[in-house]
Amino acid sequence: MISTPITGNAADPVTDFRSKATLGVAVAAIVFMLPMGLYDLMRGETAIGIGAMAVVFVLLANAWMALRGVCHQSLTLFGLFPAGMIFMTSIFHMDGIIASLWCFPIVLAAYCMLSERRAWLANITILVIALPMAWMTMESTYALRVTTSLGAVSLFSAILVNVIDGQRHQLQKQLILDPLTGLLNRLTYNECMEKAVRLHRRYQQPVSLLAIDIDNFKRLNDTQGHAAGDSVLRTAGQLLRDTLRDEDAIFRMGGEEFTVVLKGANETAAVETAERLRHAVATADFQGAHQVTISIGVATLRADESWERWAKRSDDSLYDAKRKGRNRVVLNRTIETTERSAVTLASIT
């Protein structure tokens, strides 16, 4: 199971990249196309002028949305590129060489403004329309050169964007994941907690928090070394991933401390999940390390409670579990706690 945060698209680096690229392309294209469109209208070349102004209008809409941090690729794919194709086709009927020159920035713009699959679709459409027009309106020598160079630019752009996207995804993965355990780190923790609170208030959806700490971890590090400690952390992280659901967000908060956001889990479900985790760790083989146990504090989000207060209640329950002997689950209600360290294997499974 891969741990993923329950976060919104606002923090999505891919969306942010496309939005910024769309804004940059839109502003640059407007600077170049608006004067040309006005010039064509003044010269009486109405069809080309109107086509250019239509493209400028869609670009302005794209730029306005990009300034608001919104990236609507459907507007680009189904608005901008059809307008661009009509504009380009009109120019082909007048002058094939000039029209072929416009194909190159359109190809590059597609890869900047659209996701990779949509950029491929847009560029295939461009080539399907532009290349036959080139052969119909230009000498075969020039048409062959346009075909070769335009195909090469499209292919090179696709390769470049594919490499950039792959590196960006890898960097993002390294940024938000703990390198030792592969769990989420603290970078997206606040956002995840805020979203959990918003969903709870909007839909009255239960959500619970598990504060987890490996018992006597410092002693293990001191007696068996940091390599053994790292091995225990990796195994514990794998046990968390294997035991929890895909929709649960699992964070390594630092050292031997972990936090889990259980979406859709009320008090009963949260305690049962915590007990499964506790039992899984207590019975796991940690490859030479002495028996490893964990203590877990559980808190279910209350109405109108801030995430900071919610997190503190789970931490308080964890500290209570530590004080009461470790290797146990403590549920935070108000002051009342629930302990289940003596749960039988039958009731766990």
Whether the full predicted model's pTM is greater than 0.85, yes or no, is: no
Instruction: Please compute the mean of the pLDDT values over residues 295-301 and round it to a whole number.
Output: 96
Q: Using one digit for the tens of pLDDT, what is the confidence trace for 200-215?
A: 999 899 999 999 999 9
Give the closest residue to 287 by CA, choosing from 222, 216, 234. 234
Report the DSSP pairing between strands 249-254 and 257-263.
Answer: antiparallel
Query: What average pLDDT is seen over the chain?
Result: 81
Asked if pLDDT for residue 24 goes beyond 60, the answer is: yes
Predicted confidence at residue 28, as pLDDT, reads: 79
Q: Which long-range contacts (CB under 8 A, 24 or more apart) does 6-12 make?
A: 6/192, 6/195, 6/196, 6/199, 6/247, 6/249, 6/261, 6/263, 7/188, 7/191, 7/192, 7/195, 8/191, 8/195, 10/69, 11/188, 11/191
Instruction: State which amino acid sits at residue 119.
Output: A
Question: Rounded to 10 degrees, what is the CA torsion of 69, 75, 76, 80?
Answer: -130
| Axis crossing angle, helix 81-94 with helix 46-67, rounded to the nearest 10 | 160
Instruction: Express each pLDDT in 244-284 by its tens digit.
Output: 999 999 999 989 999 999 999 999 999 999 999 999 999 99
More confident residue, 158 or 77: 158
